[in-house]
Amino acid sequence: MAEKSIRFGVLGCAEIARKVSRAIILSPNSTLYAVGSRSIDKASRFASANGFPPSVKIYGSYEAVLDDPDVDAVYVPLPTSLHVRWAILAAEKKKHVLLEKPVALNVAQFDLIVEACESNGVQFMDGTMWMHHPRTAKMREFLSDKQRFGQLKSMHTCFTFGADPDFLKNDIRVKPDLDALGALGDAGWYCIRSILWAADYELPKTVTALREPVLNEVGVILSCGSSLHWEDGKVATFQCSFLSNLTMDITAIGTKGALHLHDFVIPFQEKEASFSAASESGFTELVTGWVPIPSEHTVMTDLPQEVLMVREFASLVRSIKENGSKPEQKWPILSRKTQLVLDAVKASIDRGFEAVEVQY
């Protein structure tokens, strides 16, 4: 096993931090070094409840984690409204930044984060875990195959889950001062990223939000959708919601084939994930079935996708530390494109569902 060389500090005790802290521990090239919260009691309870090794340092402030000279990188699962402050400060303290999504409240804030990371030579990556699953690479091979899939024509994606009454009243994702983007930021981020992924990260020309989004009493989005349009005629739609049954679907349709999956954000199982691929589909002679029937593909992995994310991030950090490499620019570019589209959807909602141009 490789040396656990990259030492992570975790800023905050959000629910998602439980999962990513576990991933840091399981990753072969990282170690969970410190956790900080606004009180040392909360940080201690968090560490104890999640069975952290006794070697993990416990801090009663975020600043203390950033001031620890032995912390190489930080994972930041704080509310979106706090990202710009703490991600910038982390970069200024020369800590590499693994930041939860959505990365910011708007692209202007995100640009400040990227500027801080670039000027301090630290790696940035957002926490979109499914990007690192080997299934994603396999699906990319199919979408890139001109003989089997052809040219992308349309993309439809959905991420919804049924939040309980406590969530809808108290969770940070429904609070305008903490996560003002609500379901659009939390679930819509994944939908937008998947659409861009299928389109090989070509930005749409225009975005038009679907009418009748559901807002709570303080104006935070609980459910919404949007259509996206490209100059070459490609179209996409997505729906995201805190108010519907758990659904994580992707349908990508090309001129010669189609891709389907039903668990793109979090696979049904940690160590395997499947997708369906169809090529040159048609009906039987009596129109009683399909020929050929879509094929099912299962991709195995020894490590969960969040561990693979941490491993990739830690590998980039290690290369910077030990080899003097430049930070990988792919990840902030993908984050920025996702944020640009998200901003456009929000602008379309705010402007009465008019079409909004997306400009890089």
- 95 noted as active-site residue: no
> What is the CB neighbour count within 10 angstroms for residue 111?
15
Mark whether 168 and 86 lie in a shared domain: no
Pair type for strands 96-99 and 124-126: parallel
Mark whether 223 and 270 lie in a shared domain: yes
Cis check: omega of the bond before 102, within 30 degrees of 0: yes
Among 130, 148, 172, residue at a domain's last position: 130
Enter the DSSP assignment of 269: S
Mark whether 351 and 240 lie in a shared domain: yes
Which domain range does residue 94 map to?
2-130
CB contact at 8 A, 241 and 212: no
In a domain? residue 187: yes
CB contact at 8 A, 159 and 289: no
Mark whether 109 and 51 lie in a shared domain: yes
Mark whether 49 and 91 lie in a shared domain: yes
Among 93, 110, 130, residue at a domain's last position: 130
Model confidence over 38-81: pLDDT tens digits?
Answer: 999 999 999 999 999 999 999 999 999 999 999 999 999 999 99
CB contact at 8 A, 46 and 13: yes
Task: Pick the catalytic residue from 19, 42, 94, 101.
Answer: 101
Mark whether 9 and 121 lie in a shared domain: yes
Q: What is the arithmetic mean of pLDDT over 88-110?
A: 98
Among 81, 109, 130, residue at a domain's last position: 130
Model confidence over 170-225: pLDDT tens digits?
Answer: 999 999 999 999 999 999 999 999 999 999 999 999 999 999 999 999 999 999 99
DSSP SS3 for 109 = helix
Mark whether 187 and 171 lie in a shared domain: yes
Mark whether 143 and 271 lie in a shared domain: yes
CATH number where 226 lies? 3.30.360.10
CATH number where 86 lies? 3.40.50.720
Phi–psi pair at 75, nearest 5 degrees = -100, 125
DSSP string, 140-205: HHHHT-TTTT-SEEEEEEEEEEE--HHHHHH-GGG-TTT-TTHHHHHTHHHHHHHHHHHTTTPPPS
- Alpha-carbon span 40 to 57, nearest angstrom: 10
pLDDT band at 1 (very low <50, low <70, confident <90, very high): very low
Distance between first and last Cα of the chain? 42
